[in-house]
């Protein structure tokens, strides 16, 4: 039954599931347990959707709160690159690069090495972000970044929950396959020794 289920179509699998969970006296106890494990995985997959969604919503709310704090405590200044930035590593175009920039801060000229998302030539404008203390910091996160991270977290929760239940279901099926194989061997030995053709109908 296990091999037939693996190689069958979804329609046959559904029929096997209904048959195993019905009150049909021909359905073995091991088949009922295996079908119940499959049914539990399906139920968990559905019930895990709102759980994963709530986890994603909480993460999105936390990230948006952090973004709000970053926007309040950070401000940007316009600077000029004093030299070409370092070239990105081979085959990693779009990687952040370091570039020395300078800008006027009050009556003083300030120079710092900052990170830029892409290659910058000398004399090109560069946006620099500073915190309330004047230290160079990264740009505030964007709502799009928060949404993408929250979506990834929600998918991770769902895949993790369903994956764990699926592994447990496969482990149960493996144990049941071993039990069925042992039962078949016992019945074949009984038939070979002409033990009145007795077979274990309770398996």
CB 87 within 8 A of CB 45: no
Q: 94-117 pLDDT, tens per residue?
A: 578 889 999 998 888 999 999 888
pLDDT on residue 65: 96
Instruction: Supply the pLDDT for residue 7.
Output: 46
Q: What percent of the chain has pLDDT over 70?
A: 76
pLDDT at 42: 85
How confident is residue 5, by pLDDT bands cut at 50, 70 and 90? very low
Delimit the domains of the chain by residue range: 2-65+145-192, 74-139
Give me the pLDDT at residue 1, please: 44
pTM for this model (two decimals): 0.62
* pLDDT, the chain, mean: 80
């Amino acid at each position: 039954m296990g091999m037939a289920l693996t190689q069958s179509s979804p329609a046959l699998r559904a029929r096997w599931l209904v048959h195993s969970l019905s009150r049909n006296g021909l359905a073995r106890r091991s088949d009922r347990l295996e079908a119940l494990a499959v049914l539990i995985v399906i139920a968990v997959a559905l019930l895990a959707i709102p759980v994963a969604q709530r986890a994603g919503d909480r993460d999105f709310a936390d990230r948006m709160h952090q973004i709000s704090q970053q926007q309040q405590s950070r401000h940007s200044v316009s600077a000029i690159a004093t030299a070409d930035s370092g070239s990105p590593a081979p085959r990693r175009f779009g990687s952040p690069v370091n570039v020395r920039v300078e800008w006027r801060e009050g009556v003083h000229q300030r120079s710092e090495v900052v990170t830029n998302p892409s290659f910058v030539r000398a004399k090109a404008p560069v946006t620099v972000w500073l915190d309330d203390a004047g230290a160079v910091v990264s740009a505030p996160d964007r709502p799009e970044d928060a949404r993408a991270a929250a979506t990834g977290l929600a998918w991770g929760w769902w895949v993790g929950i369903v994956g764990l239940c699926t592994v447990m279901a496969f482990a149960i099926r493996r144990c049941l396959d071993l039990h069925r194989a042992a039962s078949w061997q016992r019945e074949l030995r009984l038939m070979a020794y002409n033990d009145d053709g007795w077979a274990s109908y309770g398996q």
